[in-house]
Amino acid sequence: MSIDIKTTKIEPRRVTFEHIAEKLGEGKTPSRYQEVMFGLQHEEVFHYRPTWDPGHEIFDADRTAVNMGDYEDLLDPRRYYYGTYVIQRSRQQESLEKNFAAVEKRGLLNALDASLIEKIRKVVIPFRHVEWGANNNNLFIAAYGFGTPITVAADFQGMDRLGNAQYITRIGLILSNNDPAILDQAKSEWLDEPMWQPLRKVIEDSFVIKDWFELHVLQNYLIDGIFHPLLFQHFDDEVVANGGASFAMVTEFFVDWFAESMRWADSTIKTAVKESDENRALIGGWIEKWLPVVSQAAEPLAGFIFADRSSEVLERISDQLAARTGKIGISARAA
Amino acid sequence: MAEKPKRLNLNQKYQLMTRGLDWETTYQSMDEVFPYDRYEGIKIKDWDKWQDPFRLTMDAYWKYQAEKERKLYAILDSVAQNNSQLNISDGRYMNAVKIWMQGVTPLEYAAFRGFAMLGRGFRGAGARVACQFQSIDEMRHYQTQVHAFSHYNKYFNGFNQYSRIRDRAWYLSIPKSYFEDAVSAGPFELITAISFSFEYVLTNLLFMPFVSGAAYNGDMATTTFGFSAQSDESRHMTLGLEIIKFMLEQHEDNLPIVQEWLDKWFWRGYRLLGLVGTMMDYMLPKKVMSWRQAWEIYWEDNGMALFNDLARYGLRPPKHHEAATKEKYRITHEFWSTIYQFSHATALYTWIPTTEELDWLSAEYGELFDTVYRPRYEYWQELHEKGERFFQKRLPVVCNVCQIPIFHTMPDDPLMNCCLVSEYKGTKHQMCSQGCLDIFNREPEKYCQAYIPPQQIYQGNCGGASLEDYRKWLHIKDEETGEYYGSEDHVMWEQWQAQAAKPTGVAPAS
Ligand SMILES: [Fe+2]
Ligand SMILES: [Fe+2]
Ligand SMILES: [Zn+2]
């Protein structure tokens, strides 16, 4: 039997869950984002120490040196929860799919100048491994980070990077008419070509970092902050300027993706910096330690792409990053 | 003229899109990069032999899941707008949903984090990617559930303080300790426990009562997220089966380890499901099927058939499954009797079933029910009618492994209580069954750490030594607990019914 609601007076007993009312103030209705960010991570009464890390609880604030009064302050400015995240990405993939279809149908990429294709092959295709490394690192943050907002967003970031790596793989297969040899070739260059080794070393070194916030700064702020503009802004422009407009069609997603991922990285790091002078010093220290390493890793690649323009391009990229760093509340610059 | 593209088969293409991205690290050793996947003793000779259990690229995942989310949220919105909580079978039903939010949703969250650990932890990239999909799926589950229950929380008690009682409440340490047991183990045990032992072997015993139960009882929100999660679950099940086959095919030394895990996690999962069985027998005003019947179909038939299949890998059915089958006539009644007596220390309401419901239980459970449990319920009903609703004054002793109150009886004697003791480092630990005792004795160092709520309460670590202090510490108000009849939920439900029954004065359109 279904009840005729027009005749029934229904008074809610409360607006939201108790822990959310305490956080937002009585009577405030939370957004769907807030409902699934607050109070979800288990806080106390852990029954067993992890056999893989007996020095910590399963969820433990001490896995980073960054101290927050409330780790749930590390919110995502995009306010993604699962539903809004997959819906946004599905819209983007739909439009990218159209671009890929157009490019494939008319053979647009393969029609590019051979030297341009060769450059894309040497610069962009091995970059799928960099994205895969970023997948690995963000899964680490999702697993061992503290608090729901940062771990949920890192999980999205991790899956995004798998998506990026897969889109690059598709670009490679278009260029090679589906011959996987192009990917094998790119992998062996990634493993052995001197141009890639400094970057591969930073990434492998990042795989053994145990402090998840340091890893967040290194991966999502510094490595991305230098290499994404290098490839998908400056190199992209270069290809387009040489008649490769179709290349921009298949890299469109990376540009949009980086713009929003940057907002998340900046905002979470800024929140931690604002929390205390100790956090500021700590994060400033990480930037000081890693920025020169990452910047140097970009030099051979920039040299290969831009030849004598390379220091000018790198200068612009580091200015852009320095401006972001200033806004975050830290004054650090590559030595 | 561009040459015609070669054709890649799906499997090849998927490999290029996943494990093809991976490389052997050289600047840091692989053992440093993946420090956790060897200490359990599982030997993997060749990760390349991993068969991808499903082949989803990110673009396809985003697309399918977005379609599902659009539909799901359209229904959740309409449930809220149309006050669909008025259409449930009875106010008592909502207690089944409370158990879900208090006990299961937190496990979905823990699964999200646990599978992120696996998605980072296995050195085989194919396995890593499969676990990453499960991680984000489980994130979906906890989030869609919070969003679905958020509307019910506005009207019914027992949802409001879920975030607090999840960690603290004695009865919720049953599911919590179960999952923490898995996450605190190594990666191979975690995936065996959850993806195989739970999601592959036992999942129907959870899904069928809850989701079909929700559908039978007019609960649109739970039905919708439940069915929507089903296609995610089928991915998780294939992952569970693949990991078992993979471990067993990789090295013969893995067999005894895997068998011990299956023994342990069968029993752990079975004990946890006792709570679900109780819900289906007692909390669903409209019954789907009895626990006994579900056990016969999903374990005695399907589960045993699965283990017959697995015999070719050298596996045998899990230890103590015979005991579980012997308990099928009594476990839910013993459990309900316990919750009934202790519900004033929970954020749930309990009640004595109606005569019609008792008749159904008699028909499903036969003589044992009529001689042992029914008279007990009828006695408690009399007390209640006299105004002496029966509650225990102290919290029960619980099992040191499964954390369920020790109410169980001997496998071959339903009238004889079972309490087994193991002494470890000078302390006595009580267990509910041979299954739990074996689990304790295999890893005493682990289980002696367990936080046993009743002990903690009487030591004054939970806000005080009385049940009233404890309840306050749990953030449960008096009116949110205890007997259903006369409770706030009951009164509200009756008002809705009365209003609905009133003539509106407007002739219905013909
Ligand atoms: Fe789930
Ligand atoms: Fe699952
Ligand atoms: Zn037990």
The Cα B37–Cα B250 span in angstroms is: 14
Q: What is the mean pLDDT of residues B61-78?
A: 98
CB contact under 8 A, B451 and A15: no
Question: Within 10 A of A95 (CB to CB), how many other CB atoms are there?
Answer: 11
Select from B23, B36, B143 the Cβ nearest to the Cβ of A187.
B23
Place of tokens 């407007």: B506
pLDDT tens digits for range A77-98: 999 999 999 999 999 999 999 9
Residues of chain A with C-beta less than 8 angstroms from the C-beta of B109: 40-42, 148
Q: Is A144 close to B117, i.e. CB distance below 8 A?
A: yes
Under 8 Å between Cβ of A204 and B33: yes
User: Residue A38 corresponds to which amino acid?
Assistant: F
Summarize the confidence of residues B247-251 as an average pLDDT: 98
pLDDT, tens only, B320-374:
999 999 999 999 999 999 999 999 999 999 999 999 999 999 999 999 999 999 9
* Predicted confidence (pLDDT) at residue A333 exceeds the cutoff of 60: no
Structural tokens at position A246: 């179709």
Residues of B in Cβ contact (< 8 Å) with A128:
21
pLDDT digits (tens, 9 = 90+) for B72-101: 999 999 999 999 999 999 999 999 999 999
- Whether the CA torsion A191, A250, A174, A244 is positive or negative: it is negative
Predicted local distance difference test score (pLDDT) of residue B234: 93
Q: What is the pLDDT of residue B460?
A: 83
Q: What is the CA(B100)–ligand 2 centre distance, in A?
A: 15
Q: For residues A18 and A21, what is the distance between their CA atoms, to the nearest angstrom?
A: 5
Question: What is the overall mean pLDDT for chain B?
Answer: 94
pLDDT, residue B509, reads 36
B100 vs A14, A300, B272, B401, B482, CA distance in Å?
A: 20, 56, 13, 21, 18
Separation of alpha carbons B410 and B67, rounded Å: 50
The structural domains of chain A, ordered by start, are 78-327 (1.10.620.20)
Show residues of chain B in contact with A94, CB under 8 Å. Answer: 63
pLDDT tens readout for residues A234-269: 999 999 999 999 999 999 999 999 999 999 999 999
CATH number at B236 reads 1.10.620.20
pLDDT of A334 strictly over 80 = no
Counting every residue, how long is chain B?
510
Nearest CA in chain B to A16: B154
Inform me whether the pLDDT recorded for B166 exceeds 80.
yes
Give the pLDDT mean for A298-309: 97
Q: Give a yes or no: residue B1 inside a domain.
A: no
Q: Which residues lie closer than 8 Å to A299 by C-beta, 6 or more apart?
A: A198, A310, A314
| Whether the predicted pLDDT of B33 surpasses 80 | yes
Tokens of B322: 């015979």
| pLDDT attached to residue A8 | 57
How far apart (Å, rounded) are the C-alpha atoms in residues A32 and A85? 12
pTM: 0.96
- What are the residues whose beta carbons fall under 8 Å from the beta carbon of B375, sequence distance 6 or more? none
Describe the crossing of helices B58-81 and B125-153 by its angle, rounded to 10 degrees: 10
- The DSSP element (H or E) to which B428 belongs, if any, is strand B427-431
Name every residue whose Cβ is closer than 8 Å to that of residue B191 and which is 6 or more positions away in sequence: B118, B131, B239, B240, B243
- What's the mean per-residue pLDDT of chain A? 95
Distance from Cα B236 to the centre of ligand 1, integer Å: 9
The rounded distance, in Å, linking the Cα atoms of B51 and B243 is 9
Whole-angstrom CA distances from B89 to B86, B362, B394, B460 are 9, 22, 33, 41
Tokens at residue A17, please?
């869950």
Q: What is the pLDDT of residue A326?
A: 96
In the prediction, which pLDDT does B212 show?
93
Distances (CA, A) of A335 to A273, A316, A328, B505: 21, 15, 19, 83
CB pair distance less than 8 Å for B116 and A142: yes
Res B468: pLDDT: 87
A interface test, pick of B7, B8, B17 with most A CB neighbours within 10 Å: B17
Cα–Cα distance between A250 and A168 in angstroms, integer? 9
Give which of A86, A87, A208 to mutate to test B binding, by max B Cβ within 10 Å: A86
Residue among A157, A125, A134, A155 at smallest CA distance from A143: A155
Structural domain boundaries, residue B486? 12-501
- Nearest Cα of chain B lies from the Cα of A256 at a distance, in angstroms, of 16
Residues 6 or more apart whose Cβ sits within 8 Å of residue A321? A222, A225, A226, A291
- Are B342 and B391 within 8 A, CB to CB? yes
CB of B469 within 8 A of CB of B461?
Answer: no
Count up the domains in chain B and report the number.
1
Contact B8 A173 (CB under 8 A): yes
Distance from CA of A260 to the nearest CA of B (A): 17
Nearest by CB to A89, from B12, B28, B62: name it.
B62
Tell if the CB–CB gap between A82 and B69 is shorter than 8 Å. yes
| Radius of gyration of chain B, Cα coordinates, nearest whole angstrom | 24
Name the closest ligand to CA B202. Answer: 2
Is pLDDT above 50 for B510?
A: no
**Cβ–Cβ of B139/A52 closer than 8 Å?**
no
Q: Which two tokens stand for residue B60?
A: 């396809």
Instruction: Please state whether beta strands B482-483 and B349-350 pair in parallel, antiparallel, or not at all (unpaired).
Output: parallel
Q: Using only C-alpha atoms, what is the Rg of chain A?
A: 23
Q: What per-residue confidence (pLDDT) applies to A4?
A: 53
Which of the ligands is closest to the CA of residue B203?
A: 2
d(CA B172, CA B186): 24
Q: Do B167 and A107 touch (CB under 8 A)?
A: no
Q: What pLDDT is recorded for position B453?
A: 81
Cβ-nearest to A5 among B82, B150, B155: B82
Among the partner-chain residues B5, B83, B121, the one whose CB lies closest to the CB of A10 is B83
pLDDT tens, B272-310? 999 999 999 999 999 999 999 999 999 999 999 999 999
B106 within domain boundaries:
yes
A193 forms bridges with which residues in the sheet?
Answer: none
Which letter, b or e, does each residue of A136-145 get, where b requires 16 or more Cβ atoms within 10 Å of its Cβ? bbbbbbbbbb
Q: Please check the confidence at residue A9 and state whether its pLDDT lies above 80.
A: no
Among B19, B184, B232, which would you mutate to test the A interface (most chain A Cβ atoms within 10 Å of its Cβ)?
B184
Predicted confidence (pLDDT) per residue in A113-154, tens digit: 999 999 999 999 999 999 999 999 999 999 999 999 999 999
Note the pLDDT of residue B60.
97
ipTM: 0.97
| CA distance readout (Å), A209 to A49, A218, B359 | 21, 10, 63
Which ligand gives the minimal distance to the CA of B107?
Answer: 1
Please indicate whether, in this complex, the C-beta atoms of A180 and B16 are within 8 angstroms of each other: yes
Cα A53 to Cα A49, B117, B196: the distances in Å are: 7, 12, 24
Q: Give the largest Cα separation in chain A, rounded.
A: 79
DSSP result, A11-43? --S-SS-HHHHHHH-TTPPPPHHHHTTSS-S--
Residue A159 has its nearest CB partner, among B109, B132, B453, at: B132
DSSP state of B52: P
Q: Which of A140, A173, A168, A167 lies closest to A154 in space, CA to CA?
A: A140
Dihedral sign of CA atoms B475, B478, B481, B482 in order: positive
The percentage of residues in chain B with a pLDDT greater than 70, rounded to a whole number, is 98
- Chain A residue numbers with beta carbons less than 8 Å from the beta carbon of B142 are 36, 40
B510 in a structural domain: no
Kindly give the distance from the C-alpha atom of residue A38 to the centroid of ligand 2, in angstroms, as a whole number: 22
Do residues B506 and A14 lie in contact, with contact meaning Cβ atoms separated by under 8 Å?
no
Cross-chain CB nearest to A169 (options B16, B66, B139) = B16
Does A3 have pLDDT greater than 70? no
Question: Which residues of chain A have a CB within 8 Å of the CB of B7?
Answer: 178
How far apart, in whole angstroms, are the C-alpha atoms of residue B17 and residue B19? 7
Q: What is the DSSP string of B213-243?
A: HHHHTT-HHHHHHHHHHHHHHHHHHHHHHHH
Model pLDDT for residues B391-410, shown as the tens digit of each residue: 998 888 999 999 999 999 99
Q: How far apart are CA A167 and CA A173, in angstroms?
A: 10
Answer yes or no: do A82 and B143 touch at CB < 8 A: yes
Residue B507: exposed, middle, or buried by beta-carbon count in 10 A (0-12, 13-18, 19+)?
A: exposed
What residues of A are in contact with residue B81 (Cβ under 8 Å)? Answer: none
pLDDT tens string B432-466? 999 999 999 999 999 999 998 888 888 888 888 88
* pLDDT exceeds 90 at position B52: yes
CA distance to A183, A185, A315, B22, per residue, from A188 (Å): 9, 5, 30, 12
Which residue of chain A has the CA closest to B119? A139
Q: Which of B140, B160, B168 sits opposite A82 (nearest CB)?
A: B140
Query: Does some domain include residue B314?
Result: yes
Which of B4, B87, B180 lies nearest to residue A46, judging by beta carbons?
B180
pLDDT digits (tens, 9 = 90+) for A35-72: 999 999 999 999 999 999 999 999 999 999 999 999 99
Asked if residue B259 belongs to a domain, the reply is: yes
Among residues B22, B6, B57, the alpha carbon closest in space to that of A176 is found at B6
Element (H, E) at B359: helix B355-368
Contact in structure between B119 and A158 (CB atoms under 8 Å) = yes
Lowest-confidence region among A59-63, B1-5, B206-210, B282-286: B1-5
pLDDT at A6 (0 to 100): 52
The SS3 assignment for B484 reads coil
* Distance in Å, CA B107 to ligand 2 centroid: 10
- Helix, strand, coil percentages for chain B (3-state, nearest 5): 65, 5, 30
pLDDT of the residue at A10: 85
| Angle of helix A82-105 versus helix B58-81 axis, rounded to 10 | 140
pLDDT digits (tens, 9 = 90+) for A180-230: 999 999 999 999 999 999 999 999 999 999 999 999 999 999 999 999 999
Q: Which residues contact B35 (CB under 8 A, 6 or more apart)?
A: A52
Residue from B34, B67, B143, B147 to probe the interface with A (highest A Cβ count within 10 Å): B143
Q: Sort out which chain B residues have CB atoms less than 8 A from A151's CB and list them.
A: 113, 116
Closest by CA to B146, choosing from A72, A43, A38, is A38
Confidence of residue B204 (pLDDT cuts 50, 70, 90): confident
- Please work out, in degrees rounded to the nearest 5, the angle formed at the alpha carbon of residue B17 by the alpha carbons of A236 and A303: 30
| Residue B418 dihedral angles phi and psi, to the nearest 5° | -115, 120
B1 vs B184, residue with greater confidence: B184
Cα B185 to chain centroid, rounded: 18
Within-domain flag for B431: yes
| Percent of all residues in chain B with a pLDDT value above 90, rounded to a whole number | 87
Position B507 in a domain:
no
pLDDT of residue B1: 40
Bridge partners (DSSP) listed for residue B424: B427
Distance CA B62, CA A94 (A): 10
